[in-house]
């Protein structure tokens, strides 16, 4: 498994690069896993013979198949992914503002769904997939992916100043105050924010708080849920419980019992 930050020129828009070559025991009970929302858009290529299959719910039988790669828009709820006996995947977590530059589409048009990468990049996506598959070595595959992203980003780029200002303050300042300080009308600011991030600012702020709670849980897996809730910024444990179930489809206790080492991947029995 490779996880690392991108080269400096990509860092304003790419949060993390990763590559994984995983072989799983085919006798495992779980054949699917629940993916918890991260608050970020993802881009993933599957560079072996097992396609990516995702499902809209636990009872979805048909799902969606992606042979080359997929863009997962920012989400407010979990989705389900098939577990394969052997997967080689290369991917990235994207920062707000990346969608318009990399795909030519506002983030809100990709939110809450999965989009085949060839629908966004056409033959270029398949060409990159072929190059990574031929490379074989996981480290080289990540490098090819990183080079391709750098080539797609225009030389002059930057997130809108009002959105950059909001993202820096969203976790500790009232959204109404942020909007008033940008000088834009609420409606105009909301359109700018949704285009860059994919979600309205209040929903995105809730996702950031939820991510803080998961972070506290990872660092200290046995404290009380009340301590985690208060440290993350929730008013009380009941508020935390409601929001946790909304984002994950699980109660906090169910999540703790089922979760693995990765806070955003939960096996489905």
Pull the structure tokens for residue 140: 């080289």
Order of strands, edge to edge, in the sheet holding 2-4?
2-4, 14-23, 86-94, 41-46, 69-72, 114-116
3-class DSSP state for residue 181?
helix
Residues in CB range of 212: below 8 A, 6 or more apart:
171, 231, 232, 233
- Which of 105, 6, 113, 35 is CA-nearest to residue 70? 113
DSSP string, 64-79: EEESSEEEE---SS-E
Average pLDDT, the chain: 90
**CA geometry: angle at 262 spanning 256 and 263, to 5°?**
50
What would the pLDDT profile of 196-254 be if each residue is shown by its tens digit? 999 999 999 999 999 999 988 887 767 788 889 999 999 899 999 999 999 999 998 88
Find out whether 91 and 132 touch, Cβ atoms under 8 Å: no
- Between CA 181 and CA 162 the distance in angstroms is 9
Ordered structural domains, the chain, with CATH: 2-152 (2.60.120), 161-199 (no CATH), 202-263 (1.10.10.60)
Q: Please give the chain's pLDDT, 269 residues, in tens.
A: 899 999 888 888 999 999 998 876 555 555 899 999 999 999 999 998 889 999 988 999 889 999 999 999 999 999 999 988 888 999 999 999 999 999 999 999 999 999 999 999 999 999 999 999 999 899 999 999 999 998 888 755 678 888 989 998 888 888 999 998 888 899 999 999 999 999 999 999 999 999 999 988 887 767 788 889 999 999 899 999 999 999 999 998 888 888 777 788 888 86
If phi > 0 it is left, if psi is from -120 to 50 it is alpha, else beta; for residue 136 that is: left
């Amino acid at each position: 498994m490779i996880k690392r930050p991108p080269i400096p020129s990509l860092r304003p828009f790419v949060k993390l690069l990763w590559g994984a070559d995983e072989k799983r025991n085919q006798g495992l009970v779980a054949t699917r896993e629940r993916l918890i929302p991260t608050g970020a858009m993802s881009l993933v290529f599957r560079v072996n013979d097992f396609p990516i299959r995702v499902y809209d719910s636990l009872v979805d039988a048909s799902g969606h198949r992606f042979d080359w790669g997929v863009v997962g828009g920012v989400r407010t709820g979990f989705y389900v992914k098939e577990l394969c006996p052997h997967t080689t995947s290369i991917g990235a977590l994207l920062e707000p503002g990346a969608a318009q530059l990399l795909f030519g589409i506002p983030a809100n048009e990709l939110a809450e769904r999965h989009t085949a990468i060839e629908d966004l990049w056409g033959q270029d996506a398949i060409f990159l997939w072929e190059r990574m598959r031929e490379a074989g070595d996981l480290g080289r595959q990540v490098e090819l992916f990183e080079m391709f992203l750098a080539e797609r980003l225009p030389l002059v780029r930057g997130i809108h100043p009002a959105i950059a200002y909001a993202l820096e303050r969203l976790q500790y300042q009232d959204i109404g105050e942020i909007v008033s300080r940008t000088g834009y009308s609420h409606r105009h600011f909301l359109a700018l924010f949704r285009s860059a991030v994919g979600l309205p600012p209040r929903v995105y702020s809730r996702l950031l708080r939820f991510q803080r709670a998961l972070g506290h849980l990872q660092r200290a897996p046995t404290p009380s849920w009340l301590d985690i809730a208060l440290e993350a910024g929730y008013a009380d444990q009941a508020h935390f419980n409601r929001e946790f179930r909304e984002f994950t489809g699980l109660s906090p206790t169910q999540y703790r019992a089922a979760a693995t080492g990765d806070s955003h991947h939960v096996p489905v029995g």
